[in-house]
Amino acid sequence: MEVADRAVGFLLSFISVSIFTYYTFWVIILPFVDTDHFIHKYFLPQEYAILIPVSAGVVLLCSLCMFVGFVMLKSKKKKA
């Protein structure tokens, strides 16, 4: 079980570092590169740099609020 946990941890770390590197290059470095450079075809348009994290945050916040609401309703039913 310990080897599997390490493998999952390594995979999650690798994915996180990859996403961070991609996003950092996309948002910070890419605006200073000429628009006709070939590297632009590997990235989405710049407006998605804000739209994707904001929409992910809204989904995460809504999910968290729904989870807390369900837990509160469940605990209220157990007391009654």
Per the CB < 8 A criterion, the answer to whether 51 and 34 are in contact is: no
**pLDDT digits 0-9 by tens, 19-45:** 999 999 999 999 999 989 999 999 999
Rounded-to-integer distance, Cα 59 and Cα 53, Å: 10
Tell me if 18 sits within 8 A of 31, measured CB to CB: no
Write down the domain spans for the chain: 1-43, 45-79
Q: How many whole angstroms separate alpha carbon 14 and alpha carbon 20?
A: 10
pLDDT band at 16 (very low <50, low <70, confident <90, very high): very high
pLDDT for the residue numbered 80: 62
